[in-house]
Amino acid sequence: MTEIWFTEKQTDHYGITMKLKETYVREQTDFQDLAMVETEEWGTMLLLDGMVMTTDKDEFVYHEMVAHPALFTHPNPEHVLVVGGGDGGVIREILKHPKVKRAVLVDIDGKVIEYSKRYLPQIASGLDDPRVEVIVNDGFMHIHDHKNTYDVIMVDSTEPVGPAVQLFTRGFYQGIYDALKEDGMFVAQTDNPWFKADLIRNVNRDVKAVFPIVRTYWANVPTYPSGLWTFTLGSKKYDPLEVDESAIPEIDTKYYSPRLHKAAFVLPKFVEDLVK
């Protein structure tokens, strides 16, 4: 019997490979190559331009760690924006916070939203919630057009290729600053320190040029390059390291916990050196 394997070439000399059971969708959208596949090890998997975006098995790590550190740092996160994130996983986590009155998702590719609802319903489960507004548009332009609007902005982008390139620029971070209220904060995924050290260093430099409080934290996401994934948080007022962990309520999570909140900001030495 023929076996079919998929390999994501993460560098010129390294990749991860997994056995496929079925390909549900393979489509060139207006913005990227999209595939939805069923794997033996990780369940259903969303691929964009040949890169793993999310899987049934480990998605909770990434989505929880984008959402909860910021939402448990800001004391009143009523209005939240997600840029990208068309699979809906970050929105699902945001909705676990009763203080959130409105969550807006802006993804440039409506096909990601459409196919995630169909093939990843447990991830996309919050997209039809009455608190959620889903907009198919350019997140960069949405931020430009919404000054002083959001308490928290979360950038759930692909790696800096294709339409996501502009989401890793100082101009974008300034736009986020302007779109936040006077005590707002944002968080973005910032790739891995093994293969993208320069990216982390540059993002940290650029965010520090805009925000007075900048913190980097990390999580283990096994299907992402190297498994060690970083996030960068920029805040106008509130510091995640000053949060009273004992006041963080236990919510329905599998990775994030009140005890992990500050621990995630303790960086391995070589990552710490990147962001000094």
Compute the C-alpha angle 238/240/242, nearest 5°.
80
The dihedral region occupied by 242, where left means phi > 0, alpha psi between -120 and 50, and beta the remainder, is alpha
Q: Is 230 annotated as a binding residue?
A: no
Confirm or deny that 110 is annotated as ligand binding.
no
Q: Which of 58, 151, 156, 206 is catalytic?
A: 156
**How many residues does this entry show for the chain?**
276
Q: Is 234 annotated as a binding residue?
A: no
Residue at token pair 């448990």: 72
109 is catalytic: no
Q: Is 138 annotated as a binding residue?
A: yes
Residue 158 annotated in ligand binding? yes
To the question of whether residue 107 is assigned a binding role by annotation, the answer is: yes
- Tell me: is residue 156 an annotated ligand-binding position: yes
From the CB of residue 100, how many other CB atoms can be counted at a distance below 10 Å?
21
Q: Is 241 within 8 Å of 213 (Cβ atoms)?
A: no
**Separation CA 46–CA 44 (nearest Å):** 7
Question: Known binder of ligand: residue 114?
Answer: no
Which residues on neighbouring strands pair with residue 220, listed in sequence order? 228
> Which are the catalytic amino acids?
156
Give the annotated binding-site residues.
Answer: 32, 63, 87, 107, 138-139, 156-159, 163
Give the annotated binding-site residues for spermidine.
Answer: 63, 87, 156-159
Give the annotated binding-site residues for S-methyl-5'-thioadenosine.
Answer: 32, 107, 138-139, 163
